[in-house]
Structure 1
Amino acid sequence: MSLETHVEPGAAERLYDICDYYDAESLLTGDERRVLGRLRDFLDREAKPLLADYWERGEFPSQLARPLIDLDLMEPAELTGTSGTNNAPARGIYQGFRIFELARTDASLATWYTAQAGLFRTAIRVGASEEQQREWMPRVIDFSLKGVFSLTEPESGSDIAGGLSTTADRDGDDWVLHGAKRWIGGASTADVLAVFARDVADGQVKAFLVDRQAAGVNLEKIHRKTSLRMMQNAHITLDGVRVPESMRLHNVNSFKDVAAMLRAMRSDVAWIATGIQAGAFEAALRYVRGRQQFGRPLGSFQLVQEKLARMLGNLTASLSLVVRLTEQQARGVYRDQDSALAKMQSCLAMRETVALARELAGGNGITLESDVARFHADAEAVYSYEGTHEINALIVGRALTGESAFTR
């Protein structure tokens, strides 16, 4: 039985018939839906058959990278009316649903694409000077300059604002970097690493585009992960790496500038968390519709239907939250507490939703034959990255009370 069984008349052409219960998709234009349909066709046809095997092997299906790039998703010409290499982004609601579509298929694919389209692009958009943007942004958009956002360190995650220990020392026209970064997804295939380091002279945070193959750069793959197994995360060591001043992001001169990037990027993670819920919900619904127990369809039991309703409630609330946040940001309203609340709440809902999906699939819910196992495991990484639950809660609490409860 297809997922479209109970769709309202006239909704057959919608992309998100079941998982978008309140029809947020109606905010998309026809062109935007067609681009997303192109993405969905590729994911269904080329990506889905590979996911279980590559997840188990802990490898990224690199054969998907170039075809995914060639889909022209970041700035599609039919949405921007240009060749796609300008710096005027497609609408935020389209970008959100692009993340949603990737994540409802696989969290690693969403994280991989968003590392370029979200994190690295934001680093250039916010941190680069106008001259640097003119040079680099077209190459970011067409992926001819691939980069990753390298902020987290081995001993500093949540406390990175005060604990960042990678150093940058000015030496003539160059900077010399020492330190280490950890959990940097996609670093092994990037051209440059957007590295954040503390200026020895003034103690302020600066940012640099570091050639991945420069002398003194060493990358090690992080093994034995139980979440986002396809995403290749790296531990990076920087030992006397020389970077020219021209490769410093000229608009990053303190951690406040980094915080402006994080403020914009957290909404992407909230969309990923929402997409994961959609994928888990759809997988669980397929399972209970096709499974028989005690001589009856599993979907006919009251407790099963109650769990499905809770999952749909979580998903619908999360999608409403990220859509509203995206609409605010489209009007230029960017507040730390807004993106923090969306990330915090969507991830709380995600955790319950994937757990319920795994429950509904019973013992089959822990095998890769059922998609719910992959969503269940991958959700744990998304729950923590781009700000833990506690850190985001404190950002919201600070806005509510006017008092900072962060450890000093």
Structure 2
Amino acid sequence: MTFQPLVSDFYSYESLLSEPEQQAIMALRGYLESEVRPIIGGYWERAEFPTQIVQPLADLGAFSFAWDETRPFENSAVFRGFVAFEMARVDASVATFAGVQNGLCCGSISVCGSAEQRAEWLPRLASGELIGSFGLTEPQSGSDSAQGLATTARRDGDNWVLNGAKRWIGNATFADVTVIWAKDVADNHVKGFIVPTSTPGFSARKIEGKIALRPVQNADITLEDVVVPESLRLANANSFKDTAKVLRLTRAEVAWAAVGVAAGAYEAAVAYSKERVQFGKPIGSHQLVQDLLSKSLGNITASLGMVVRVSEMQDAGQQRDEHSALAKAFTTSRMRESVAWCRELFGGNGIVLDYEVARFFADAEALYSYEGTREMNALIVGRSITGQAAFV
């Protein structure tokens, strides 16, 4: 299989990948293009998730790149970033599903779990046998999760009793297991728990009426005296600082996905500019259209450079919270700008699902907000710059 560069990768960043990594990317791209792109618009409109793609994605390794229990990472963080990028340039909801499964759920167990917990749960999640989700955000607690978490965990002998509510929990309506973050009433510190969704007292209700990421099955979760054994408490999650270790990795992945969304909108706009004829010639021959495309490509190229470097720092063990935060804040802002320019190029056609740019345009709003708003990430970066916290 010959590696084919993307029109959106103007500086050929994917050429930094090893040959085996390039072949793996091509295999993933081939599946996404042939099996996901043709159907995803309908699922987006119906607000349903195409569950039939889960096992093929698992077979392609999409849920196991980052959390290998038996040997060092076979693939670079740059490669894992391009996996998120490739999924997002076809559909942001697919990338979000994988991000929750692999980054947030598997990531929590990998970073904060014991060796026994990792051995028990990670292979089953990586293989697609189990679907996972991640419960941190609450109805009244989003950006202030470090302090404002209201869900409680109370030790009762060899068990823990969880009570509270979570909101915006991706995959939760059909997940087999959810990582729930709750505040220990004894020491007021945040702890993590692996909660099978079949546990009595656990319920998930789908959030309706979304205008972005419609295939993602976000839910309101209610926890009413949910009993979890001590063996399912994440052994190395003892405060919100441990939760933040997971978010540092997943925030960088969202930055990659944001670049993918911008690339998907840009690729659709390039194709449309060659097909759409106005005033007797393709609109791509008009100066103002070329300006929109050039500005969008500049944003994508700059963003790719940033996320590639952040992933290189991750491989080198140099990545810090502020590095991921700056990447997430910058790439989502540039994504939002670029998809608006690309939608503008389509005119009225840019607001109907017949043209993919409408989906990218709507979905960009969700990526702009989740995994830390631009403002919160700016404050993380600002704290690093000045040495002063300005969160309150």
**Which one of the candidate residues 155, 161, 173 is aligned to 1:170?**
155
What corresponds to 2:252 in structure 1?
A: 267
Determine whether 1:86 maps to 2:75: no
What corresponds to 1:337 in structure 2?
A: 322
- Rounded to whole Å, the distance in 1 between the matches of 2:194 and 2:263 is 36
Counterpart amino acid of 1:141?
Answer: A
What corresponds to 2:26 in structure 1?
A: 37
Q: CA deviation at 1:47?
A: 0.9
- Rounded to whole Å, the distance in 1 between the matches of 2:3 and 2:337 is 27
User: Alignment partner of 2:295: what SS?
Assistant: helix
- Rounded to whole Å, the distance in 2 between the matches of 1:68 and 1:26 is 23
- Rounded to whole Å, the distance in 1 between the matches of 2:79 and 2:178 is 27
Q: Deviations over 1:330-350 (max 9, x none)?
A: 001121110000000000100
Q: CA deviation at 1:138?
A: 2.2
What corresponds to 1:248 in structure 2?
A: 233
Matches within 5 A, 1:55-70: 55-70=44-59
Please say if residues 86 and 137 of structure 1, whose CA atoms lie closer than 8 Å, have aligned partners that are also in contact.
no
Determine whether 1:71 maps to 2:60: yes
What corresponds to 1:5 in structure 2?
A: none
- Rounded to whole Å, the distance in 1 between the matches of 2:163 and 2:173 is 19
Higher deviation after alignment, 321-330 or 21-30 = 21-30
Please say if residues 173 and 204 of structure 2, whose CA atoms lie closer than 8 Å, have aligned partners that are also in contact.
yes
Counterpart amino acid of 2:70?
Answer: N
**Which one of the candidate residues 116, 121, 131 is aligned to 1:131?**
116
Please say if residues 85 and 141 of structure 1, whose CA atoms lie closer than 8 Å, have aligned partners that are also in contact.
no
What corresponds to 1:101 in structure 2?
A: 86
What corresponds to 1:325 in structure 2?
A: 310
Where structure 1 has 5 or more consecutive residues not aligned to the other structure, the ranges are 1-11
Q: CA deviation at 1:34?
A: 1.1
**Which one of the candidate residues 26, 38, 44 is aligned to 1:49?**
38
Please say if residues 75 and 85 of structure 1, whose CA atoms lie closer than 8 Å, have aligned partners that are also in contact.
no
- Rounded to whole Å, the distance in 1 between the matches of 2:63 and 2:223 is 31
Q: Deviations over 1:97-149 (max 9, x none)?
A: 11110000000000011211111121011110223223322223223333211
Tell me the TM-score normalized by structure 1.
0.93
- Rounded to whole Å, the distance in 2 between the matches of 1:105 and 1:261 is 26
Please say if residues 289 and 297 of structure 1, whose CA atoms lie closer than 8 Å, have aligned partners that are also in contact.
yes
- Rounded to whole Å, the distance in 1 between the matches of 2:295 and 2:387 is 34
Q: Residues 361 and 113 of structure 1: is their aligned pair in 2 closer, same or farther, counting only changes over 3 Å?
A: same
Tell me the TM-score normalized by structure 2.
0.97
Please say if residues 15 and 33 of structure 1, whose CA atoms lie closer than 8 Å, have aligned partners that are also in contact.
no
Where structure 2 has 5 or more consecutive residues not aligned to the other structure, the ranges are none
RMSD, aligned α-carbons: 1.6
Aligned length in residues? 391
Counterpart amino acid of 2:14?
Answer: E
User: Alignment partner of 2:173: what SS?
Assistant: helix
Counterpart amino acid of 1:139?
Answer: R
Q: CA deviation at 1:87?
A: 5.3
Matches within 5 A, 1:379-398: 379-398=364-383
User: Alignment partner of 2:307: what SS?
Assistant: helix
Please say if residues 318 and 345 of structure 1, whose CA atoms lie closer than 8 Å, have aligned partners that are also in contact.
yes
Q: Residues 234 and 87 of structure 1: is their aligned pair in 2 closer, same or farther, counting only changes over 3 Å?
A: farther
- Rounded to whole Å, the distance in 2 between the matches of 1:30 and 1:75 is 19
What corresponds to 1:399 in structure 2?
A: 384
What corresponds to 1:156 in structure 2?
A: 141
Please say if residues 63 and 101 of structure 2, whose CA atoms lie closer than 8 Å, have aligned partners that are also in contact.
no
User: Alignment partner of 1:187: what SS?
Assistant: coil
